[in-house]
Amino acid sequence: TKWRSHPPPLTTPREEWLNHPSTVDLYCLGIVKASGIATLRDLRQKHVPLLKSMAEEGLSAIKRVYGVDNDQVRIFIHYQPQFYHFHIHFTRLENEVGCSVERGHLVSDVIQNLEMDDEYYCKRIISYKLLKGSPLENLIQVYSDNEV
């Protein structure tokens, strides 16, 4: 989790996490064990069952461990991701960290898009916010400078 107010996980018994006040800042990740999917662009229709399973199992674990109802959780994928091993984010609706429109893609929308078109994310132009001075911005700048 990425909670700012999480109780110390090594010293707080897990049963005390249930309905803990810090769940307002809930931020959990679901990480795929298998390799081969790095980003949203790698997803195809064959991954829809995986996405559905990750969402269902993540929501079930969040309800069981933290006591947060499914209708209070947002599930999304970053593009560009923070690291290139496929993962999905689970946050409380009150927690807006990382879910901005320039970066967060709702898993429910991703599933629907893949069901309509197997190569949706392979073909689609995806706009995203690029931070000044980030490694990718620096590479683009070097490339642009060499093109002139």
Q: How far, CA to CA in Å, does 131 sit from each of 32, 135, 137, 140?
A: 26, 9, 7, 12
Alpha carbons 110 and 147: distance in angstroms, whole number:
35
Catalytically annotated residues: 87
Query: What pLDDT tens digit does each residue of the chain (148 aa) get?
Result: 444 566 677 787 878 888 888 888 888 999 999 889 999 999 999 999 999 999 999 999 999 999 999 999 999 999 988 888 999 999 999 877 766 767 889 999 999 999 999 999 999 998 887 788 888 888 888 888 887 6
Listed residue (12, 26, 41) closest to 97, CA to CA: 26
List pLDDT tens digits, range 70-97.
999 999 999 988 888 999 999 999 877 7
